[in-house]
Amino acid sequence: MAIRSGARHGTGPAQIAGSGPHVFRWESGSALPRWPAAIPDDEVQTGPVTQEPEVPRTQFAKLGRDRIAYQVLGEGPVDLVWIPGIGDALDIRWEYPPYASLLRRLASFSRLIMLDRRGMGASDPVSLEALPSWEEWADDALAVLDAVGSDRAALLGVNDAGLMAMMFAASRPERTHSLILFNSAASISVEDAIPSGLTPQELESLDAYIEENWGIEETGVIGAAELADDSVFMRWVTKNARMSCSPREAGAHLRHLLTTDIRHVLPLIRVPTLVLHRQHAPYITVDAGRYTAEHIPGARFVLVPGTGLMMYLKPNAQILDHIEEFVTGTAPTTDTNRALATILFTDIVGSTQQASALGDRRWRSLMESHDAVAHTVIDQYSGRLVRHTGDGVLAIFDGPGRAIRCAFALRDALTPLNIKIRAGLHTGEVELRGDDIGGIAVHVAARVLEQAEAGELLTSSAVPLLVAGSGIEFEDRGEHDLKGISGTLRLFAVDD
Instruction: Please report which confidence band the pLDDT of residue 223 belongs to, taking 50, 70 and 90 as the band edges.
Output: confident
In angstroms, the CA 90 to CA 70 distance is 7
Please report the domains of the chain, with CATH numbers, ordered by start residue.
41-328 (3.40.50.1820), 338-494 (3.30.70.1230)
List pLDDT tens digits, range 459-494.
Answer: 998 888 777 667 789 999 999 988 877 788 899 999
Which pLDDT tens digit goes with each residue over 434-451? 778 888 899 999 999 999
Q: How many CB atoms lie within 10 A of CB 54?
A: 13
- Residues 244, 248: Cα–Cα separation, whole Å: 12
pLDDT band at 2 (very low <50, low <70, confident <90, very high): low
Whole-angstrom distance, CA of residue 434 vs CA of residue 384: 13
Distance CA 75, CA 95 (A): 22
Alpha helices in 259-387 (DSSP H): 286-294, 317-328, 351-358, 360-380
Q: 41 Cβ partners below 8 Å, 6+ apart?
A: 335, 338, 429
Q: What is the dihedral of CA 61, 64, 65, 70, to 10 degrees?
A: -20
Phi/psi at 130 (nearest 5 deg)?
Answer: -150, 75
22 pLDDT band, cuts 50/70/90, is very low
Instruction: Give residue 23's pLDDT band: very low, low, confident or very high (50, 70, 90).
Output: very low
Most confident listed range (53-62, 63-72, 357-366, 487-496): 63-72
CA-closest candidate to residue 31, choices 235, 337, 300: 235
Q: Percent of the chain beyond pLDDT 70?
A: 86
Q: CA quadruple 349, 351, 352, 358: dihedral positive or negative?
A: positive
* pLDDT tens digits, one per residue of 5-18: 554 333 333 333 33
Of 65-79, 93-107, 215-229, 262-276, the least confident: 215-229
Written as one letter, the residue type at 67 is: R
Buried b (16+ CB within 10 A) or exposed e, 129-158: eebbebeebbbbbbbbbebbebeebbbbbb
pLDDT confidence of 218, banded at 50, 70, 90? confident
Q: What is the arithmetic mean of pLDDT over 229-248?
A: 91
Pairing relationship of beta strands 2-5 and 473-481 according to DSSP bridges: parallel
The model carries a pTM of 0.61
pLDDT bin (cut points 50, 70, 90) of residue 188 is confident
